[in-house]
Structure 1
Amino acid sequence: MAKRKKRTRLLPVLFLSAAAAAAWLLLLQTENRVDDCLKIEQNINSVLLTAGVPEKNVTSWWEEKKKNRVEWLKINKKILIRKPLWGLFSADNLLQNVENRRKYALSVKDEDDHLSREIKILRDGNIYCLITLRGEKAGPSLCIIIDDCGGSKKQLTSFTQLNLPLTYAILPYQRYSRVIAQSLARSGSDTLLHMPMEPHKADMKALGKGALSAEMTGDEIIKKITAALGCVPGVKGMNNHMGSLFTENREKMKIVMTLLKKEGLFFLDSATSPKSVCRETASLSGVKCLRNNIFLDNIDSAGEVKKRLLEAASIARKNGSAIAIGHATRRHTADAIKEISRELKDVEIVPLSRLMDNI
């Protein structure tokens, strides 16, 4: 009877000992986060594929890590990539579908020379991924502006279907001005207010509603531009429609640039006059401004437009970049752009904002 009581007393002790041993074994178990690291690696590769980065521009290696009973692979990557594409390396893209992604943090640091960026993915103070981005020297860039948009959705379709980063200049007060501006802005395309301005030998009626005249007061100019901006929401800047007389007027262009500065917009000088003061007045007002290099379709024939596109590409190779203007209303411009863009292997077609960012 005494032996049975003793055995009964030992049972709780044995149970507690077993529980303690199990708890100790549980503490000794290693947490494996390698799957998370592999998913991050997969996400990085998806970003590289989207950005079109060649394999020769990427150096990769892994390091096996273990700390506080946690195992992981530290991913290291050095990537040569154009600076405008650095934004693709975001938390949303790099941590997509990673388990417990909220436990990971992204740290971004730009070097003092602004030519490289260091991105770290961290958890519990440990580095799980270290990405070093280095700016790739950009090749020649060509920006193609499509003027006179707004009157027809059908005309514009031939350009948007090219799937090229063209820039669209939209006339105010046209039948589809607002609809086209909203649609292009949603698609991520650069858009401009194509502001009618008085030319030499002016026919103000032909310019349509809202045109700027050199005879207007400052208040009238501001009122006209403000109203026109309301017709084309989402624009990033403005360029002149005609305006050979107006763009030569220093006083009037200074009023325009002061308003653009206030609105946070840039200006493209369409170059309708060799005596234009657009760049001068823009500089004085702190507005980013570039000038058109060539018109593509003053002669509306396929051969002529192709010839002019090749001239624009030559300018880009010589100067690093070029701007060319075509028109939504011309019959052959879209097809010519489609054909020549396939031949321009060394020249990148870029939106106007890309060139403005480099000023």
Structure 2
Amino acid sequence: MKYLGRLVLLAILIYLVWHYRSYFSSLNFYKLSVKTDERVVEILLQNKITESNVSQQYRQENKFLFFHWITSYRTLRLDKNQQKNLTGSIKKIKKFPVSFWEAKENDSLQINAGIDFYFTKIVFSVLKISGEKPGQHLVAIVIDDFGYEPTIEKFIECGIIITPAILPQERYSTLLAEKFRQQNITYLIHLPMEPIGYPKINPGKAALLVGMPKEIVEKKVNQAIKSVPGAFGISNHMGSRYTASVKDLSILLPLVKKNQLVFLDSHTNPRSMAARVARNFSLPVMVNDIFLDNEDSEAAISRQMERLKVIARRKKSTVAIGHCHRKYLLPVLRKYQNDFISSGIQFVPLKDLYLQ
């Protein structure tokens, strides 16, 4: 009987492997994942959920053995009625052969679409639904200094909404702009500008220097835009001396406006004149409130996150800046994400703050 039982189990295992292998091979996972995403978009539009409700979206390619598919991720900001209507629509959908199921992720609703087997799930679409109340406190996390390395996966997959700032005319500047564009992540040109201490402190080859003629400034701005195509704005890399110069800002900021961009003052100098000069030209401008990782340690960044929370709860919108090469920044951001949400603070793209 002992051996008979083992033979029966082995026979069942062989059947399951054969059965599901046949089922898998009959499906084109890539086409099915694309079709699923199209169906999800239809459902969102039917429920009047538009781009204005999407705070983040990106796509991730997956490969396992001989299977290849795409998982699309969207983070949605919905009120209670929108959530109710969406979940109601989802429940009415019949398998095609994709099914939908709900899950809880960090105390918020998540709707997945894919193939749900007894022993595994192949996920083609993820909708993360944020149910925070309107009028809450918004925080944009800007991550500076992209351009030196080609990989961005850890930032795309971290689950934190960020706004990348890409240094122009670096080896991977244009490549990274295209990668972020494909993921529907808005990004900035992180334009180098003269710091206090120049030339001992070198801002880089693309830098704007105090006293530069207008035609040189215009040439450098155009080169930066060409190097980082599709950016929605410009922020200053270094620039503690440049942003304190009304004369030089009066040359730069009209060019920013001419190219239909916005400006983020990184606020590397508390005496920066950028916001004041920008108002003279009716140019949208935001100002950084806090640097998160001047010291790259878990304890130091955690202290800055606590300060950020205090600042954010006093204001409707807040900007914080970190740096892509810091070791502890992303782990600390993940650690604090739920704490911020429970405090009524939401991470959003910087672009959302300009739309307020």
Output the CA distance in 1 between the equivalents of 2:43 and 2:236.
47
Equivalent positions of 1:329-348 (< 5 A) are 329-345=325-341, 346-348=344-346
Identity among equivalent positions (%) equals 31
The equivalent residue for 1:282 is 278
Amino acid at match of 1:168: P
Q: How many residues were matched structurally?
A: 248
Deviations 1:6-44 (A, max 9, x none): xxxxxxxxxxxxxxxxxxxxxxxxxxxxxxxxx989942
Contact 1:198/1:204 (8 A) holds in 2? no
Q: What secondary structure is seen at the aligned counterpart in 1 of 2:190? A: strand
| TM-score (ref. length: structure 1) | 0.63
Distance 1:59 1:241, change over 3 A: closer
Output the CA distance in 2 between the equivalents of 1:215 and 1:46.
49
Q: Which runs of 5+ in 1 are unaligned?
A: 1-38, 61-76, 80-135
Output the CA distance in 1 between the equivalents of 2:324 and 2:75.
30
- Residue 53 in structure 1 maps to residue 85 in structure 2: no
The equivalent residue for 1:163 is 159
1:197: how far off?
A: 0.4
Equivalent positions of 1:1-359 (< 5 A) are 43-44=46-47, 51=76, 53=78, 55=80, 57=81, 137-154=134-151, 156-203=152-199, 206-345=202-341, 346-358=344-356
Deviations 1:172-192 (A, max 9, x none): 121111100111122111211
Q: What secondary structure is seen at the aligned counterpart in 2 of 1:325? A: strand
Output the CA distance in 2 between the equivalents of 1:162 and 1:43.
30
Deviations 1:314-339 (A, max 9, x none): 21111112110000111111111111
Q: What secondary structure is seen at the aligned counterpart in 2 of 1:344? A: helix
1:198: how far off?
A: 0.4
Output the CA distance in 1 between the equivalents of 2:158 and 2:275.
31
Q: What secondary structure is seen at the aligned counterpart in 2 of 1:230? A: helix
The equivalent residue for 1:103 is none
Output the CA distance in 1 between the equivalents of 2:262 and 2:319.
15
Q: What secondary structure is seen at the aligned counterpart in 1 of 2:47? A: helix
Output the CA distance in 1 between the equivalents of 2:44 and 2:211.
63
Output the CA distance in 2 between the equivalents of 1:266 and 1:311.
26
Contact 1:197/1:242 (8 A) holds in 2? yes
Deviations 1:123-159 (A, max 9, x none): xxxxxxxxxxxxx6320011100000111134x3322
Output the CA distance in 2 between the equivalents of 1:52 and 1:250.
40
Q: Report which of the two structures shows the higher radius of gyration computed on alpha carbons.
A: 1
Q: What secondary structure is seen at the aligned counterpart in 2 of 1:223? A: helix
Contact 2:292/2:321 (8 A) holds in 1? yes
Deviations 1:51-81 (A, max 9, x none): 45354x4699xxxxxxxxxxxxxxxx9x9xx
Amino acid at match of 1:44: N
Amino acid at match of 2:149: S
Distance 1:46 1:215, change over 3 A: closer
Q: What secondary structure is seen at the aligned counterpart in 2 of 1:206? A: coil
Amino acid at match of 2:141: I
CA root-mean-square deviation: 3.0
Contact 1:268/1:289 (8 A) holds in 2? yes
Distance 1:197 1:162, change over 3 A: same
Distance 1:145 1:42, change over 3 A: closer
Contact 1:315/1:321 (8 A) holds in 2? no
1:215: how far off?
A: 2.5
Q: What secondary structure is seen at the aligned counterpart in 2 of 1:326? A: strand
